[in-house]
Amino acid sequence: MNTEKLYDILQETTRVYRKGGVIEERNTGNLHVVEIFGYPHTSEAPNNEKYEKIDMIFVDVLVDKEKAKARKKELETLLEDYPQKDRLAGGPSYIELAPNLEVEQEEALRTMALGKALGLWEIMSGKTLGLKEQETLKLAGNGFLMISGYKPGGKI
C-alpha cells in the first residue's frame, strides 16, 4: 500500500471537524476516557454545494467533491493493493481498515468518508439502524462503524 500517496489524496480532498468540545470525557466501565479533538468545530465547516459533509460518528469529514472526483482513479488504484480484498469487498470497520491501509484511525475515517462521497461504498453505523446517538457512539467505539463493501467504479 502506498501510504504516502493515500495521505496526499486525503490531505487534498478531506478535512476533519469535531462535533463537540475540544476535550470530551466519559467513563467506559472502570476506565475514564479523555479525548482531545484538535479540529475546528463542525459549525465552522463550509456549507455549500462544493462539499459533502459525511457523519463519521466521532467527527464530521468534509469532502471537496471536485477534488475527490479528480483523484478517484488514484484512490481506486491504491485500493487494488489492499491486502485482504475479500474483506474490503465485505465491508471492514475503521478499526480493521486502518492497519490494512497502514494508517491511523483518523485516516481510515477520512478514507471511508471519501469513498462514500465517491459512491464506492456506504457508511454503516448505529445511525443506519436508527439507534440514538449514545448507543451509536458506544457501538462505534466497539467497531460498528464500517463501510458497506467496496464497489469499484461507483458513481458520485
| 154: in domain | no
| pLDDT of amino acid 155 | 65
Structural domain for 100, as ranges: 3-147
| 79: in domain | yes
List C-alpha distances in Å: 9 to 23, 56, 105, 110: 28, 18, 16, 10
| 152: in domain | no
| 84: in domain | yes
| pLDDT of amino acid 156 | 54
18-27 contacts, C-beta under 8 A, 24 or more apart: 18/42, 18/59, 18/60, 19/58, 19/59, 19/60
| 52: in domain | yes
| 125: in domain | yes
| pLDDT of amino acid 35 | 84
Question: What beta strand segments (E) does the chain contain?
Answer: 14-18, 23-28, 31-36, 51-55, 59-64, 123-124, 146-147
| pLDDT of amino acid 94 | 97
Exposure string for 84-103, b = 16+ CB within 10 A, e = fewer? eeeebeebbbbbbbbeebeb
| pLDDT of amino acid 124 | 97
Number of structural domains found in the chain: 1
Cell of 11: 490531505
Q: Is 118 exposed, middle or buried (0-12, 13-18, 19+ CB in 10 A)?
A: buried
Residue 87 CB contacts under 8 Å (≥ 6 apart), including other chains: 96, 100
> Could you list the pLDDT tens digit for every one of the 156 residues in the chain?
899 999 999 999 999 999 989 998 888 789 998 988 899 999 999 999 999 999 999 999 999 999 999 999 999 999 999 999 999 999 999 999 999 999 999 999 999 999 999 999 999 999 999 999 999 999 999 999 999 999 887 765
Q: pTM value?
A: 0.92
| 153: in domain | no
| 156: in domain | no
